[in-house]
A = this chain, B = another copy of it.
Amino acid sequence: MGIGLPEFLSIELATEHPQVIPISVFIVILCLCLVIGHLLEENRWVNESITAIAVGAVSGTVILLISKGKSSHILVFDEELFFIYLLPPIIFNAGFQVKKKKFFHNFLTIMSFGVIGVFISTTIISFGTWWLFPKLGFKGLTARDYLAIGTIFSSTDTVCTLQILHQDETPLLYSLVFGEGVVNDATSVVLFNAVQKIHFESINGLTALRVFGNFLYLFSTSTLLGIGVGLVTSFVLKTLYFGRHSTTRELAIMVLMAYLSYMLAELFSLSGILTVFFCGVLMSHYASYNVTESSRITSRHVFAMLSFISETFIFLYVGTDALDFTKWKTSSLSVGGTLEVSGVITTLVLLGRAAFVFPLSVLTNLMNRNTQRSESLTFKHQVIICWAGLMRGAVSIALAFKQFTYSGVTTDPLNAAMVTNTIVVVLFTTLVFGFLTKPLVNYLLPHDESSQNTGNSRCKQSAPGSPKEDATLPLLSFDESTSTNLSRAKDSLTLLIEQPVYTIHRYWRKFDDTYMRPVFGGPRPVNQPEC
Query: Interface on A for B, CB 8 Å cutoff?
Result: 13-14, 16-17, 19-21, 23-24, 27-28, 30-31, 34-35, 37-39, 41, 80, 83-84, 236, 240, 242, 245, 247-249, 251-253, 255-257, 259-260, 263-264, 266-269, 294-295, 297-298, 301-302, 304-305, 308-309
Contacts of A266 in B (CB 8 A): 14, 16-17, 20
Complex: how many Å from CA A102 to CA B474?
63
Are B263 and A23 within 8 A (Cβ)? yes
* Nearest B-chain residue to A42, judged by Cβ: B245
Name the residue on B nearest A14 (C-beta): B267
Determine the distance from Cα of A178 to Cα of B268 in the docked complex, in whole angstroms: 45
User: What would 17 A/B residue contacts be, using CB atoms closer than 8 Å?
Assistant: A16-B266, A17-B80, A20-B84, A23-B263, A27-B260, A28-B260, A30-B256, A31-B257, A34-B242, A35-B236, A35-B240, A37-B249, A38-B249, A248-B301, A248-B308, A249-B308, A255-B309
Given A13-B269, A38-B249, A41-B245, residue A263 in contact with residue B301 (CB < 8 A): no
Pair B84/A19 contact, Cβ less than 8 Å: yes
Which residue of B is nearest A269, CB measured?
B13
Check B38–A245 contact: CB distance below 8 A: yes
CA gap between A28 and B253 in the complex, in Å: 10
Q: Which residue in B27, B35, B297 is a CB contact (below 8 Å) of A259?
A: B27
Q: Which residues of B contact A308 (CB under 8 A)?
A: 248-249, 252
Question: Chain B contacts of A39 at CB under 8 A?
Answer: 240
Closest to A254 in B: B305
Distance (Å) between the CB of A134 and the closest chain B CB?
31
Q: Which residue of B lies closest to A83 (CB)?
A: B17
Cβ-defined contact, A242 with B38, below 8 A = yes
Q: Which residues of B contact A38 (CB under 8 A)?
A: 240, 242, 245, 249
Q: Which of chain B's residues have a CB closer than 8 A to the CB of A242? A: 34, 38
Known: A31-B253, A31-B257, A297-B298. 16 other contacts (CB 8 A): A13-B269, A16-B269, A20-B84, A27-B260, A31-B260, A34-B256, A35-B240, A38-B242, A248-B304, A248-B305, A252-B305, A255-B305, A255-B309, A294-B297, A298-B301, A301-B302
Give the CA-CA distance A13 to B39 in the complex, in Å.
Answer: 47
Provide the bound-state CA to CA distance between A301 and B300, in Å. 12
Of listed A14, A259, A295, A301, residue having the most chain B CB within 10 A: A301
Chain B residues contacting A240 (CB-CB under 8 Å) are 35, 38-39
- In the complex, chain B residues whose CB is within 8 Å of the CB of A80: 17, 19
Which residues of B lie under 8 Å from residue A27 when comparing CB positions?
256, 259-260, 263
Shortest Cβ distance from A248 into chain B, in angstroms? 5
Residues of B near A19 (CB, < 8 A) are: 80, 84
Inter-chain CA distance A41–B246, complex, in Å, is 10
User: Which residues of chain B come closer than 8 Å to A37, judged between CB atoms?
Assistant: 249
Complex interface: chain B residues within 8 A of A264 (CB): 24
Residues of chain B with a CB closer than 8 A to A41's CB? 245
Cα(A145)–Cα(B263), bound, Å? 42
Contact A24 B252 (CB under 8 A): no
> Is there an interface contact between B298 and A34, defined as CB atoms closer than 8 Å?
no
- Provide the bound-state CA to CA distance between A27 and B266, in Å: 14
| Cβ contact within 8 Å between A13 and B267 | yes
Taking the closest CB of chain B, its distance from the CB of A259, in whole angstroms, is 6
Once the chains bind, are A302 and B309 in contact (CB under 8 Å)?
no
Cβ contacts under 8 Å, A247 to chain B: 301
CB distance B263 to A24 under 8 Å?
yes
Which residue in B268, B297, B309 is a CB contact (below 8 Å) of A297? B297
Question: 3 smallest A-B Cβ distances: which pairs?
Answer: A298-B301, A24-B263, A251-B305
Which residues from B are CB-within-8-Å of A253? 31, 34-35
Q: Decide if B301 touches A251 in the complex (CB within 8 Å).
A: yes
A255 vs B298: C-alpha distance when bound (angstroms)? 14
CA distance A39 to B239 in the complex (A): 11
CB distance from A413 to the nearest CB of B (A): 26
A251 to B251: give the CA distance in the assembly, Å. 16
The chain B residue with its CB closest to the CB of A305 is B251
Q: Which of A19, A38, A242, A259 has its CB near the most chain B CB atoms (within 10 A)?
A: A38
B305 touches A13 (CB 8 A): no
Q: A13 to chain B: which residues have CB within 8 Å?
A: 267-269
Please judge, given known A-B contacts A27-B256, A39-B240, whether A301 and B305 are in contact too, CB under 8 Å: no
Residues of B within 8 A of A255 (CB): 305, 309
Residue of chain B at shortest CB distance from A242: B38
Complex CA gap A298/B303 in Å reads: 11
Chain B neighbourhood of A31, CB < 8 A:
253, 256-257, 260
Among residues of B, the one whose C-beta sits closest to the C-beta of A30 is B256
Q: Is the CB–CB distance between B295 and A301 below 8 Å?
A: yes
